[in-house]
A and B are shown apart, each in its own frame.
Chain A
Amino acid sequence: MCKMEKITLRNITKAYGKNPPVIENLNLGIEEGSFTVLLGPSGCGKSTVLRMIAGLEKTTAGDVLIDGISVRDVEPGDRNIAMVFQNYALYPTMSVRDNIEFGLKNMKVGKDERNARIAEVAEMVGLTEYLSRKPANLSGGQRQRVALARAIVKKPAVFLMDEPLSNLDAKLRTQIRTDLIELHQRLKTTFVYVTHDQVEAMSMGTDIVLMDQGTIQQHAAPAEIYASPANVFTARFIGSPPMNVVPAEAAHGKAPEFVSKVGFRPERSHIVRPGEKLSEDTVLIDGNMLAREMLGDQTQYKMETENGTVFVKEFKDDLIDYGQHQIAVKLADIACFDMQGKLCGFGLQKE
């Protein structure tokens, strides 16, 4: 590994009481300066991992290292980290200013320095005129920014964020998403971000750690995780809509024997127009259109085939009518998965 690891999780196991562990023997390295997104369905253990990095949860076994040093006996406040909570966790009895200042006071930052930092951060997130307000008198987006300001003002080495956008409406979410990317570019510190939304992960992350049932399914850059998903779970999680994965029988014997499932991205398929000339390396699937969604620049079709429903996404201007159609997919775009669900390559053998 060429880059330095900021945070290392070494053989982490976490169990609550006598229940079977939610995370077992997990290893993860988070690179310095990366925007690492822990992604996965709810209950996959991603928040637990974040909370163990923060020190809010103790590890049952294994070690968390920051800058190569074990933080087992280091209090959360001494780990040089800041956290943004899902519900912001603002102190409701304090004004915005006191909320931001609280941590600095505890860190014994001098008064002039505190004022300068608060002014700077308030300007940065656009809260200057709200400093004297109580959190109850702020909108959801403003509270979110207070939570961010409270983290930024501490100038931590690591930002931990636990689904910070999930309580915002869709429009604000996309806006703050861009703001967070900007912030990361500006601060160049390590961000660890937990979400169940693959769009957030793809758009913001420099690294994605996709988790399921307490284990890491794939740890890669967004482009790689999209282009070559490690397994069926990853393929079905990334993309909107995600990859269509159907039994290998759908390939009509074109798939090698060890392949149990095949898949293709909706945006790498299209519906055959009447009179359209198809190249030889194309697979055709018969399907009945169940639903059609026109989204302006793109159209999504939900098609029922004999091997289950699949999605087709087109960036074309002409709309296809409901009815029986053929779906065309290039051989090279078909992903093959083996018995264990692992990706074994793209492209089926030609006839």
Chain B
Amino acid sequence: MQQTKLGMPVVSEAPSVVRPAMKQKSGLRRFFIAVRPYLMIAPAMVVFALFLIYPIFYMVYLSFFDWNMIGEMKFIGVQNYTNMFSDSDFWQVLGNSIYYMVMVVILEMALSLLLAAYLNKNTRVNQILQTIAFTPYITSMVSVAFIWMWMMDSDYGLLNYFLSFFGVDPIGWLSDPKVAMNALVLVSVWKGLGYNTIIIISAMQAVPGYLYEAAALDKTPKWKSFYKITLPMISPSIFFLALMNIISALKVFETVNIMTKGGPMNSTNTLVYNIYQYGFQYFKIGYASALGVALMVVIGIFTLIYFKVLSKRVYYSN
């Protein structure tokens, strides 16, 4: 204790040397120094502006025109919007999109939380299971959609075949207007489950173990330590995942396009598929752009509500 090595540096007097006056920089050099940061971010900003900012404004601009992509552009003011709001199909599509989003987000979050809680323990079996759960996420949505379409076929599909063992009548997975949207929800939840689970597991494993020890000494039941410790601690991840799920669910396209084409009876038509129909099947670019603006606003509103309502309940460690 208190052993000191020899040769301690002797504290010298504080340097009181006056620095030589700085060289006056030339005007050009000063200009370069001022501009340099902007030059550095310029490439990124150009790409950002070209592919993100410009298309958004161009879409808004197009929504005030009547245009078929080839002929002359005709300015029609807010006609596209008044048409849209008075069209019952639009409201159905909007309702479909919101229903789809709510279902996907709730199921996705609830199931991935349960799965994560189950797979959290880092055993070898769980690592294999995690990998299996993650596979759908890295598989192409198109292949996934085709395989599910085949499995959901009402006459030859695997699902109805299995259900027949239990005496269940064949279900029109993709042909019954009451069921079709839920079938798409199922596919989407199945595909995203692994990704959400992995993110939640990694958040759970970042919760310090001593908190659970303190909880054990506080006589905390298992479910309560999950609800009062785990959940608040992983809330930033859940908040982020749910927001990503909201946005991506509102933008669903591939499954609709491949599995149902918006049918039956428009029951699975969503905003993005509707945009695709108007833009690239009916060539009503102006109306499609108006729908695009509507989608943007809807996503904006949900994101805003989400932040307002939930962000206060998220715990961020500093």
Q: Nearest CB to that of A85 among chain B residues?
A: B210
Which of A10-18, A87-95, A188-196, A219-227 touches B?
A87-95
A85-B233 contact, Cβ under 8 Å, with A92-B317, A106-B220, A107-B219 = no
Complex Cα–Cα for A85 and B217 (A):
11
Known: A56-B213, A91-B214, A93-B232. Contact between A240 and B219, CB under 8 A?
no
List residues of chain A with CB within 8 A of the CB of B229: 91, 93
Stretch at the interface among B2-10, B242-250, B289-297: B2-10
On chain B, the residues within 8 Å of A240 by CB distance are 1-2
Question: Shortest Cβ distance from A266 into chain B, in angstroms?
Answer: 10
A-B contact pairs, 7 of them (CB 8 A): A55-B216, A83-B214, A91-B215, A92-B317, A103-B220, A106-B219, A302-B3
Contact with A along B304-318 (1 / 0, CB 8 A): 000000000001011
In angstroms, Cα B2 to Cα A241, docked, is 8
B217 adjacent to A77 (CB under 8 Å): yes
- Check B213–A102 contact: CB distance below 8 A: no
Whether A302 touches B315, Cβ cut-off 8 Å, given contacts A81-B217, A82-B217, is no
Within 8 A of A (CB), among B210-241: 210-211, 213-221, 224, 228-229, 232-233
- CB-CB nearest in chain B for A241: B1
Q: Is the CB of B233 within 8 A of A93?
A: yes
Note all chain B residues with C-beta closer than 8 A to A241.
Answer: 1-2
**Cross-chain contact B218 with A77 (CB below 8 angstroms):** yes
A94 CA to B233 CA in the complex, in Å? 10
Known: A76-B216, A93-B315, A102-B220. 18 other contacts (CB 8 A): A81-B217, A82-B217, A83-B214, A85-B214, A90-B214, A91-B211, A93-B229, A102-B215, A103-B217, A103-B219, A106-B218, A107-B219, A150-B218, A240-B1, A240-B2, A241-B1, A242-B1, A293-B2
Q: CB-CB < 8 A to B214: which residues of A?
A: 83, 85, 89-91
B209, chain A: closest CB distance, angstroms: 9
A-B contact number at CB 8 A: 77
CB distance from B235 to the nearest CB of A (A): 8
Q: Are A78 and B219 in contact (CB-based, < 8 A)? A: yes
Is A290 located at the chain interface by the 8 A CB criterion? yes
Residue A282 at the B interface, CB < 8 A?
Answer: no
The answer, yes or no, to whether A213 is at the interface (CB within 8 Å) is: no
Total B residues in contact with A, Cβ cutoff 8 Å: 25
A317 to B215, CA, bound (A): 54
Cα distance A106–B210 in the bound complex, in angstroms: 18
Residue of B219, B221, B233 ringed by the most chain A CB atoms within 10 A: B219
- Are A89 and B211 in touch, CB under 8 angstroms? yes
Q: In the bound complex, what is the Cα–Cα distance between A89 and B212 (angstroms)? A: 9
Separation of A92 and B216 alpha carbons in the complex (Å): 16
B221 and A136 form a contact (CB under 8 A): no
With known contacts A77-B219, A136-B318, A242-B1, A290–B6 Cβ distance under 8 A: yes
Q: List chain A residues, Cβ under 8 A from B1.
A: 240-242
A300 within 8 A of B: yes
**Taking the nearest CB of chain B, how far is it from the CB of A260, in angstroms?**
24
Which residues of chain A are within 8 angstroms of B315 by Cβ–Cβ distance?
A: 92-93
B237 vs chain A, min Cβ distance (A)? 14
The smallest beta-carbon distance between B48 and chain A, in angstroms, is 35
B215 contacts across to A, CB distance below 8 A: 91, 102
CB-CB < 8 A to B318: which residues of A?
Answer: 136
Contacts of B219 in A (CB 8 A): 75, 77-78, 103, 106-107
Of residues 1 through 22 on chain B, the ones whose CB sits less than 8 Å from some CB of chain A are: 1-4, 6
Task: Give the top 7 A-B pairs by smallest Cβ distance, nearest first.
Answer: A77-B219, A103-B218, A93-B232, A89-B214, A89-B210, A106-B219, A76-B216
Are A76's CB and B217's CB within 8 A?
yes
Q: Which residue of A lies closest to B218 (CB)?
A: A103
Q: How far is the CB of A174 from chain B (nearest CB, A)?
A: 17
B214, closest chain A residue (CB): A89
Complex CA–CA separation, A186 to B189 (angstroms) = 59
CB pair A300–B217 under 8 Å, yes or no, is no
Instruction: Quote the shortest CB–CB distance from B215 to chain A (angstroms).
Output: 8
Residue A61 interfacial (CB < 8 Å): no
- Closest Cβ of chain B: how far from A177's Cβ, in Å? 18
The answer to the question of A303 belonging to the interface, with a C-beta cut-off of 8 Å to chain B, is no
Chain A 56-104 interface residues, beta-carbon cutoff 8 Å to B: 56, 75-78, 81-83, 85, 87, 89-94, 102-103
- With A93-B233, A240-B1 known as contacts, the answer to whether A106 contacts B317 (CB < 8 A) is no
Q: Chain A contacts of B233 at CB under 8 A?
A: 92-93
* Known contacts A56-B216, A85-B214, A89-B213: A106-B224 contact under CB 8 Å: yes
Contact across chains for B3 and A54 when beta carbons are under 8 A apart: no
With A77-B220, A241-B1 as known contacts, state yes or no: A85 contacts B213, CB within 8 Å: yes
**CA separation between A241 and B6, bound complex, in Å?**
19
A290 to B318 Cα, complex, angstroms? 47
Compute how far the CA of A89 lies from the CA of B6 in the bound complex, rounded to whole angstroms: 41
Residues in A whose Cβ lies below 8 Å from that of B210: 85, 87, 89
